């Protein structure tokens, strides 16, 4: 994805019509209309062929006829390859990548590096607070391996920040001074969507006079925040339930562990870096508390960080075989009853045995790259397609789901495993009967900016909802029905999602003549689907939207020929 963020437009009256052109101002394509003044930042996703251009021209035309044109050079950001190493600092100028397993530190190069106070990172961004300018944060794009850092922007928070960790791609966590002299530091949430971050107070550190004097680390899967702090000669480690602000544990570390200035994670365990000795400890249990010494590395570590998407339990090793719940004594001819009343007869060429060895090994690959796109998956409802799909699902070890047309929406039993097998079906890569289009190309960009804007079709788009997906008649067989599902990477919607309502229209973008604000199955939308390597869509943790029977399109049998595009758009995420 190539995008441009308009941070400010001056001297023009809104609404603005935005076009992207070549550098000569020709071959322009309409992007969207902005109906509000900018500096509220607006992200423009460049359509092909401009998404591969080194430079583009942005043309803005207002309703009163004024026009402005500017050439913008595109910075190439390397593709994201997440790295679960920790990052540590010594002094004010050195940042190392540190492998806890091997105890190897590698000195890194950052352009325009300020005097380091603290650091934080996720899979593709890195933030550094400035000792000399505590109201500045330098932001970089990063990629590894090999490690590359590209300066992106400087942020100007309204208050001095002490300590830093990541909550999500748009939010950091830090502390500020208490209201009065002698008060404990206050934990704050820092929204870094714009270069002028907003700060929201969360909760004060315990007692009086408690100062950060250390670091913070957040675990998104458990919603726990850990803070190392100091007061009256003691060193503390504090655990909070982040959403509620409830203080759960507050333990004294010294004299066993002193001067903890850096916190990171190894899988789902907190790691503490002791300043004076370079010892690296793992927190095993804060209720007792107990720690394990992992390594001894370089001394005087002033800060530490690691990608929060790596703060998850280690990947379990799956058993090599799957025993299906389907009785193995079934006759070789299986009768499947699709939910749209088409009854295909499946005649497998296999002989069922007591053990089915699946061809898909659902081993998730951690961590997952950030992929801000939703994928539209059409399942053809003709007899041949459903027969082939049902045979594949059964032979591959699916225990309770053979495709929507062969029994409706899946049950919660073995849901993730069965859906992982489903999306590995070769038909979804296109070019096979009525599986015409590779579903990896049927995608819509998920808006990351806060607030409401417009998508590339000019339709209203809220944060963490997806851009209008246009499905053209040539991408399906217009003479049959398809059932459509929407696959949403969980890390592209802030890491949490209960559900997302959907608009569907015919013939024109933004139309809702098929359905408006439709609510998908509220149980299945809250269950993770782990998609492993080799599927028709990138490996990730997904939430799948099932809108039954609305997403059976066209809705009548026999279906009328589809002569106009279908438009799918995310409405509201909860």
Residue with tokens 């726990």: 224
> In this predicted model, what pLDDT tens digit does every residue of 367-386 receive, in sequence order?
456 778 999 999 999 999 99
Residues constituting the chain:
574
Q: Are residues 187 and 64 in the same domain?
A: no
Residue with tokens 């401009």: 50
> In this predicted model, what pLDDT tens digit does every residue of 164-180 receive, in sequence order?
999 998 999 999 998 88
Residues of the chain above pLDDT 90, percent: 57
pLDDT (0 to 100) of residue 38 = 62
- Residue 470 pLDDT class (50, 70, 90 cuts): very high
pLDDT (0 to 100) of residue 355 = 36
Res. 364: pLDDT tops 70: no
Task: Write out the residue range of the structural domain in which residue 58 sits.
Answer: 3-73
- Residue 450 pLDDT class (50, 70, 90 cuts): confident
**Mean pLDDT across the stretch 49-67?**
82
**106, 273, 290, 294 from 281: Cα distances, Å:** 20, 7, 10, 6
Q: Are residues 65 and 99 in the same domain?
A: no
Q: CB-based burial of residue 132 (10 Å sphere; 0-12 exposed, 13-18 middle, 19+ buried)?
A: exposed
Q: Are residues 28 and 117 in the same domain?
A: no
- Residue 494 pLDDT class (50, 70, 90 cuts): confident
Res. 351: pLDDT tops 70: no
> In this predicted model, what pLDDT tens digit does every residue of 247-276 receive, in sequence order?
999 999 999 998 999 999 998 999 999 999
Q: At what angle do helices 383-395 and 415-423 cross, to 10 degrees?
A: 120
Q: Say which range, 321-325, 424-428, 519-523, 548-552, has the weakest mean pLDDT.
A: 321-325
**Mean pLDDT across the stretch 292-320?**
83
- Among 19, 39, 73, residue at a domain's last position: 73
pLDDT (0 to 100) of residue 558 = 61
Pair 217, 263: CB distance under 8 Å: yes
Res. 320: pLDDT tops 60: no
Q: Are residues 99 and 205 in the same domain?
A: yes
Res. 30: pLDDT tops 80: no
Q: Comparing C-alpha atoms, which of 508, 456, 509, 454 is closest to residue 31?
A: 456
Would 408 be classed as within a structural domain? no
The Cα–Cα gap between 41 and 445 comes to 17
- Among 293, 310, 327, residue at a domain's last position: 310
Would 529 be classed as within a structural domain? yes
CATH number of the domain where residue 148 is located: 2.120.10.30
**Tokens (6 digits) for 263:** 């916190």
pLDDT (0 to 100) of residue 318 = 53
CATH number of the domain where residue 60 is located: 2.60.40
Q: Are residues 197 and 143 in the same domain?
A: yes
Q: Are residues 164 and 246 in the same domain?
A: yes
Res. 108: pLDDT tops 70: yes
Q: Are residues 57 and 98 in the same domain?
A: no
Residues of the chain above pLDDT 70, percent: 85
pLDDT (0 to 100) of residue 371 = 79
Q: Say which range, 150-154, 304-308, 546-550, has the weakest mean pLDDT.
A: 150-154
Would 479 be classed as within a structural domain? yes
**Mean pLDDT across the stretch 302-313?**
90
**How far does Cα 378 stand from its chain's mean position?**
23
Would 557 be classed as within a structural domain? yes
pLDDT (0 to 100) of residue 179 = 85
Would 473 be classed as within a structural domain? yes
Q: Comparing C-alpha atoms, which of 262, 250, 259, 15 is closest to residue 119?
A: 262
**Of 354 and 34, more confident:** 34
Q: Concatenated DSSP letters for 250-313? A: EEE-TTTS--EEEEEEETTEEEEEETTT-EEEEEEETTTTEEEEEEE--S-EEEEEE-GGG-SP
- What stretch of H or E contains 127? strand 125-130
**13, 40, 153, 155, 569 from 37: Cα distances, Å:** 8, 7, 22, 21, 25
The Cα–Cα gap between 538 and 79 comes to 13
**Mean pLDDT across the stretch 17-21?**
85
Q: Say which range, 7-11, 439-443, 514-518, has the weakest mean pLDDT.
A: 7-11
**30, 125, 228, 329, 557 from 395: Cα distances, Å:** 48, 42, 53, 14, 30
- Residue 467 pLDDT class (50, 70, 90 cuts): very high
Res. 418: pLDDT tops 90: yes
pLDDT (0 to 100) of residue 369 = 66
State phi, psi for 420 to the nearest 5 degrees.
Answer: -65, -45
Res. 449: pLDDT tops 90: no
Q: In what order do the strands lie in the sheet with 86-90?
A: 104-107, 94-99, 86-90, 301-306
Res. 424: pLDDT tops 90: yes
Pair 234, 185: CB distance under 8 Å: no
Cβ burial 261-299 (10 Å sphere, 16+ → b, else e): bbbbbbeebbbbbbbeebbbbbbeebeebebeebbebee
Residue with tokens 């007692």: 207
Pair 262, 302: CB distance under 8 Å: yes
- What stretch of H or E contains 529? strand 529-531
Pair 140, 147: CB distance under 8 Å: no
pTM exceeding the 0.95 threshold for the entire prediction: no
Number of compact structural domains in the chain: 3
- Residue 7 pLDDT class (50, 70, 90 cuts): low
**Tokens (6 digits) for 108:** 């890194």
The Cα–Cα gap between 457 and 509 comes to 6
Q: Are residues 154 and 258 in the same domain?
A: yes
Please count the other Cβ atoms lying within 10 Å of the Cβ belonging to residue 323: 12
Res. 327: pLDDT tops 50: no
Pair 433, 526: CB distance under 8 Å: no
Helices (H), 366-446: 383-395, 415-423
Pair 357, 399: CB distance under 8 Å: no
Q: Comparing C-alpha atoms, which of 370, 351, 304, 400 is closest to residue 143?
A: 370
Q: What SS3 string covers 36-81?
A: CCCCCCEEEECCCCHHHCCEEEEEEEECCCCEEEEEEECCCCCCCC
Res. 356: pLDDT tops 90: no
- Residue 81 pLDDT class (50, 70, 90 cuts): low
**Tokens (6 digits) for 54:** 């080194």
Pair 569, 467: CB distance under 8 Å: yes
Would 346 be classed as within a structural domain? no
Q: Are residues 131 and 42 in the same domain?
A: no
- Residue 83 pLDDT class (50, 70, 90 cuts): confident
Q: Concatenated DSSP letters for 138-196? A: EEEEEETTTTEEEEEEEE--SS--EEEEEEETTEEEEEE--SSTTPPPEEEEEE-SSSS
**Tokens (6 digits) for 91:** 């002094």
**Mean pLDDT across the stretch 333-358?**
40
pLDDT (0 to 100) of residue 311 = 83
Q: Are residues 104 and 217 in the same domain?
A: yes
Would 447 be classed as within a structural domain? yes
pLDDT (0 to 100) of residue 537 = 95
The Cα–Cα gap between 261 and 213 comes to 7
**Could you say which DSSP state residue 390 is in?**
H
Q: Are residues 203 and 125 in the same domain?
A: yes
Write the CB contacts of 393 (distance below 8 Å, at least 6 apart in sequence): 401, 402, 403, 406, 418, 421, 422, 425
Res. 82: pLDDT tops 80: no
pLDDT (0 to 100) of residue 29 = 79
Would 134 be classed as within a structural domain? yes
Q: What is the mean pLDDT of the chain?
A: 85
The Cα–Cα gap between 201 and 185 comes to 11
**Mean pLDDT across the stretch 462-479?**
93
Res. 392: pLDDT tops 50: yes
Q: Are residues 59 and 172 in the same domain?
A: no
> In this predicted model, what pLDDT tens digit does every residue of 220-249 receive, in sequence order?
999 999 999 999 889 999 999 999 999 999
């Amino acid at each position: 994805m190539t995008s441009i963020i308009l941070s400010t437009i001056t001297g023009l009256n809104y609404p603005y019509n935005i076009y992207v052109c070549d550098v000569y101002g020709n071959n322009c394509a309409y992007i969207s209309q902005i109906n509000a003044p900018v500096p509220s930042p607006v992200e423009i996703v460049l359509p092909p062929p401009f998404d591969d251009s080194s430079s583009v021209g942005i043309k803005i035309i207002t309703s009163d006829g004024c026009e402005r044109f500017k050439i913008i050079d595109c910075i190439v950001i390397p593709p994201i390859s997440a790295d679960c190493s920790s990052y540590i600092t010594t002094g004010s100028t050195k940042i190392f990548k540190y492998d806890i397993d091997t105890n190897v530190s590698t000195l890194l190069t950052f352009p325009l590096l300020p005097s380091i106070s603290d650091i934080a990172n996720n899979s593709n961004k890195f933030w550094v607070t400035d000792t000399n300018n505590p109201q500045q944060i330098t932001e970089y794009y990063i990629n590894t391996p090999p490690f590359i850092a590209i300066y992106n922007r400087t942020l100007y928070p309204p208050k001095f920040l002490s300590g830093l960790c990541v909550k999500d791609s748009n939010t950091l966590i830090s502390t500020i001074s208490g209201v009065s002299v002698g008060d404990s530091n206050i934990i704050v949430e820092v929204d870094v969507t714009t270069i002028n971050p907003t700060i929201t107070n969360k909760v004060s550190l315990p007692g009086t006079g408690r100062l950060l004097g250390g670091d913070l680390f957040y675990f998104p899967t458990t919603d726990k925040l850990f803070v190392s702090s100091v007061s009256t000669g003691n060193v503390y480690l504090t655990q909070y339930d982040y959403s509620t602000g409830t203080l759960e544990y507050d333990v004294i570390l010294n004299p066993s562990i002193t001067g903890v200035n850096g916190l990171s994670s190894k899988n789902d365990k907190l790691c503490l870096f002791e300043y004076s000795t370079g010892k690296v400890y793992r927190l095993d249990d804060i209720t007792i508390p107990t720690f394990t010494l992992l390594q001894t590395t370089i001394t005087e570590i002033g800060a530490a960080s690691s990608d929060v998407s790596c703060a998850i339990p280690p990947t379990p090793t799956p058993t090599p075989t799957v025993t299906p719940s389907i009785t193995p004594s079934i006759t070789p001819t299986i009768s499947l009853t699709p939910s749209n009343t088409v009854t295909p007869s499946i005649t497998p060429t296999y002989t069922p045995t007591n053990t089915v060895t699946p061809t898909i090994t659902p081993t998730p690959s951690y961590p997952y790259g950030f992929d801000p796109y939703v994928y539209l998956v059409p399942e053809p409802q003709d007899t041949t397609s459903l027969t082939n799909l049902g045979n594949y699902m059964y032979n591959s070890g699916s225990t309770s789901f053979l495709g929507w047309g062969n029994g409706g929406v899946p049950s919660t039993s073995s849901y993730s495993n069965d859906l992982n097998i489903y999306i590995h079906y070769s038909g979804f890569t296109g070019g096979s009967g009525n599986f015409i289009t590779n579903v990896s190309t049927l995608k819509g960009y998920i808006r990351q900016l806060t607030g409401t804007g417009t998508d590339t079709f000019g339709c209203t788009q809220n944060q963490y909802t997806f851009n209008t997906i246009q499905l053209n008649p040539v991408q399906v067989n217009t003479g049959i029905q398809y059932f459509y599902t929407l696959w949403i990477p969980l890390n592209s919607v802030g890491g949490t999602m209960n559900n997302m309502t959907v608009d569907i229209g015919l013939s024109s973008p933004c139309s809702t003549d098929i359905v408006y604000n439709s609510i998908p199955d509220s149980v299945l939308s809250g269950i993770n689907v782990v998609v492993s390597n080799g599927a028709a869509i990138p490996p990730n943790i997904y939430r799948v939207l099932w809108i039954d029977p609305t997403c059976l399109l066209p809705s009548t049998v026999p279906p009328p020929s589809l002569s106009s595009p279908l438009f799918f758009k995310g409405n509201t995420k909860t």
